[in-house]
C-alpha cells in the first residue's frame, strides 16, 4: 500500500512511535525491507540516496517499489534522501515518489529558504511531501554532507524557516552523525521536544544506526517520528554476502540466486529488529485506518 510520508509520521507522532526509514541500495534490499515491514506489521519508508539513484536509475527503483508496495499489506512510502540537486528532485516528483529531502544545508539561510520554498511548491503540486534540511547533519553519506557543522540555527529560526517554506518534515541537528559512530555523540532529544513546542511538523532523526535502544526511545518519547537507518542496512547486506560467499567458497557452490536469497534474508532480519524498538511493530492497521 502506497502512503504519504508526512501523514504516516504525523500518525506515528500522535501514537508515540516512529516510522523506520531505511536506505536501500537495490531490488534485493528493497524487497527485504518490505518483507521485514510485512512480517512486523509495521509501516515503513523506503529511502534511496542520490548515489544509489544514479547507479540503479529512477525507473528501475520506482518499478521495484510499485511491485513490492502494491502487493504489501502495510503502508509504505518511497523517499529520496539528502538531495541538494533540483533536477534530481524534479525527476522523482515526475516519477510519483512519496517525498523528497531537499538538502539546502550547504546554503546560507536566505538562499536555503528561497530554494526550499520553490521545491515545496513544485513537490506539493504533484502531491509529494518535502523533508527540509537547512542545518547540516554531521557526517558524509553517499557523497553528500560535511564533517563539520557549517550551519546551525535556533529552534525558533528552524521553525520560522519551515513555516515560510511550507516544508512538511524537519531534519534538524540532533547530535547524531551519519555513518558509523566513532566518538561519543551528545544526543539531543530535548531539541526535538523544543521544536515540537513550536510546530506540529514531524521531526526526523538522521544517523540512526548504532544508537542504543534507550537512545532511540528517548528520541521517540520526545516526539521524533521518522528514524533513518542507512549504515545499518549496508552492514547487514555486506555481512550476509560475505558469510554466504565464505560458505560457497568452502563448499564449491556457485549459485548467484542463493547469494541473493542469503543477502535478502540477512537484511530482512536485521531491519526487522528495529521495528519493535521504534514501537512501529503491529501498527500497520492503525496507520492504514487513519490515513486519509
Ligand atoms: Zn541523513
Split the chain (292 residues) into runs of 10 and give each run's mean pLDDT: 94 98 98 98 98 97 96 96 97 97 96 98 98 87 75 95 98 88 78 98 92 95 97 97 98 97 98 98 97 82
Residue 87 Cα to ligand 1 middle (Å): 20
Residue 207 Cα to ligand 1 middle (Å): 6
Q: What's this model's pTM, rounded to 2 decimal places?
A: 0.95
Q: What are the catalytic residues?
A: 81
pLDDT for position 186: 86
Residue 82 Cα to ligand 1 middle (Å): 6
SS (H, E, C) the chain: CECCHHHHHHHHHHHCCCEEEEECCCHHHHHHHHHHHHHHCCCEEEEECHHHHHHHCHHHHHHHHHHHHHHCCCCEEEEEEEECCHHHHHHHHHCCCCEEEEECCCCCHHHHHHHHHHHHHHHHCCCCEEEEECCCCEEEECCEEECCCCCCCCHHHHHHHHHHHCCCEECCCCCCCCCCCCCCCCCCHHHHHHHHHHCCCCEEECCCCCCCHHHHHHHHHHCCCEEEECHHHHHHHHHHHHHHHHHHHHHCCCCHHHHHHHHHHHHHHHHHCHHHHHCCCCCHHHHHHHCC
pLDDT for position 79: 98
Residue 261 Cα to ligand 1 middle (Å): 28
* Residues 182-192 pLDDT 10s: 656 789 999 99
Residue 248 Cα to ligand 1 middle (Å): 35
Amino acid at each position: 500500500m502506497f502512503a504519504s510520508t508526512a501523514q504516516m509520521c504525523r500518525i506515528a507522532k500522535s501514537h508515540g512511535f516512529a516510522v523506520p526509514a531505511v536506505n536501500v541500495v537495490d531490488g534485493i534490499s528493497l524487497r527485504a525491507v518490505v518483507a521485514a515491514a510485512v512480517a512486523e506489521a509495521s509501516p515503513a519508508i523506503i529511502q534511496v540516496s542520490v548515489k544509489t539513484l544514479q547507479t540503479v536509475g529512477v525507473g528501475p527503483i520506482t518499478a521495484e517499489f510499485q511491485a513490492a508496495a502494491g502487493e504489501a499489506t502495510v503502508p509504505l512510502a518511497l523517499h529520496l534522501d539528502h538531495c541538494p540537486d533540483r533536477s534530481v528532485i524534479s525527476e522523482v516528483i515526475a516519477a510519483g515518489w512519496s517525498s523528497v529531502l531537499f538538502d539546502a544545508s550547504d546554503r546560507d539561510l536566505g538562499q536555503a529558504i528561497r530554494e526550499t520554498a520553490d521545491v515545496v511548491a513544485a513537490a506539493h503540486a504533484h502531491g509529494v511531501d518535502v523533508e527540509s534540511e537547512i542545518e547540516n547533519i554531521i557526517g558524509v553519506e553517499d557523497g553528500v554532507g560535511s564533517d563539520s557543522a557549517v550551519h546551525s540555527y535556533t529552534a525558533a529560526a528552524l521553525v520560522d524557516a519551515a513555516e515560510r517554506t511550507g516544508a512538511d518534515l524537519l531534519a534538524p541537528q540532533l547530535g547524531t552523525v551519519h555513518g558509523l559512530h566513532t566518538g561519543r555523540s551528545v544526543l539531543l532529544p530535548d531539541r526535538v521536544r523544543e521544536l515540537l513546542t513550536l510546530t506540529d511538523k514531524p521531526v526526523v532523526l538522521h544517523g540512526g544506526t548504532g544508537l542504543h535502544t534507550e537512545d532511540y526511545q528517548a528520541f521517540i518519547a520526545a516526539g521524533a517520528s521518522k528514524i533513518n537507518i542507512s549504515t545499518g542496512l549496508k552492514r547487514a547486506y555486506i555481512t550476509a554476502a560475505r558469510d554466504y560467499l565464505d560458505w560457497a567458497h568452502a563448499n564449491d557452490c556457485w549459485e548467484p540466486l542463493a547469494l541473493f536469497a542469503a543477502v535478502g534474508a540477512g537484511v530482512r532480519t536485521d531491519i526487522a529488529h528495529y521495528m519493535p524498538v521504534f514501537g512501529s511493530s503491529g501498527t500497520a492497521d492503525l496507520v492504514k485506518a487513519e490515513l486519509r
